[in-house]
Amino acid sequence: QKEVEQDPGPLSVPEGAIVSLNCTYSNSAFQYFMWYRQYSRKGPELLMYTYSSGNKEDGRFTAQVDKSSKYISLFIRDSQPSDSATYLCAMRELYNNNDMRFGAGTRLTVKP
Amino acid sequence: NAGVTQTPKFRILKIGQSMTLQCTQDMNHNYMYWYRQDPGMGLKLIYYSVGAGITDKGEVPNGYNVSRSTTEDFPLRLELAAPSQTSVYFCASTGGSPLHFGNGTRLTVT
């Protein structure tokens, strides 16, 4: 079993749809959770990060963490064609900067 | 502000050749990292550095070497390239909060 599992997709939705992207993990010591967006032929860029269980909202994006289930999600409301990218979840132990674990990524296409 | 810059963008190597992937950052970050990204596998840490003169192995260091003589630069050396090293390589840096990535080097070993 991989330490971080991510729905592989690909996922294709119409413009305006609500998108749900998900990861599960096995290491209960993970405390710091991130979502990165990666456009084709580019490096990942940080979208959101959170330390705690619950929801964190930033514009059209909501990150959700359920530590009891070891499950994290990223919701995108009113999805746009510009949201078409690969989304990577990432996580690490709170005081260990040097051991970030990434999911394999979900490729999302939003069709106009 | 350029952020993290990687060169070259693309490279084709023959088996057994060597090369250095360059990475430089202009954010004065102490922490720098090299990852490789393979399809369906996620990013894997090769080497990292917590400051000039200090480096350590990550999850997949075999076949690679690094050095960190300055805060800005963190080159990755491939000796005796093998087909298993065909990948996209990303350099990243941080000042203690989330990672800033370069745009990658696509390497093919044939």
Q: How high is the pLDDT of residue A45? A: 95
Q: How high is the pLDDT of residue A53? A: 85
**Which residue is closest to A100 within chain B, CA to CA?**
B45
Q: How far, in Å, CA of B34 to CA of B32, rounded?
A: 7
Rounded mean pLDDT of chain B?
A: 95
Q: How far, in Å, CA of B88 to CA of B39, rounded?
A: 9
Please list every residue in chain B whose beta carbon sits closer than 8 Å to the beta carbon of residue A100: 43, 45, 99
Question: Is the pLDDT at A86 greater than 90, yes or no?
Answer: yes
**Token representation of residue B57:** 């192995």
B43 and A6 in contact by Cβ < 8 A?
A: no
Q: How high is the pLDDT of residue B25? A: 97
Question: Is the pLDDT at B94 greater than 70, yes or no?
Answer: yes
Question: Is the pLDDT at B1 greater than 80, yes or no?
Answer: no
* Sign of the CA dihedral with B109 first, then B40, B100, and A4 last: negative
Q: How confident is the model at residue B71 (pLDDT cuts 50, 70, 90)?
A: very high
Round to the nearest angstrom and report the end-to-end CA distance of chain A: 37
Q: Which of A43, A1, A8, A24 is nearest to A91 (CA)?
A: A24
Chain A to chain B Cβ contacts (< 8 Å): 48
Tell me whether strands A19-25 and A4-6 are parallel, antiparallel or unpaired.
Answer: antiparallel
Secondary structure letter of residue A87 according to DSSP? E
Interval B79-92: pLDDT, tens = 999 999 999 999 99
Interval A60-83: pLDDT, tens = 999 999 999 999 999 999 999 999
B103 and A6 in contact by Cβ < 8 A?
A: no
DSSP secondary structure string for all residues of chain B: ---EEEE-SEEEE-TT--EEEEEEESS--SEEEEEEEETTTEEEEEEEEEETTEEEE-S--TTEEE--SSSSB--EEE-S--GGG-EEEEEEEESSSS-EE---EEEEE-
Omega before A8 cis (within 30°)? no
Q: How high is the pLDDT of residue A74? A: 97
Secondary structure letter of residue A52 according to DSSP? S
Q: How far, in Å, CA of B2 to CA of B8, rounded?
A: 16
Interval B24-55: pLDDT, tens = 999 999 999 999 999 888 899 999 999 999 99
Interval A6-50: pLDDT, tens = 987 899 999 999 999 999 999 999 999 999 999 999 999 999 998
**Token representation of residue B66:** 């690094």
Please list every residue in chain A whose beta carbon sits closer than 8 Å to the beta carbon of residue B31: 97-98
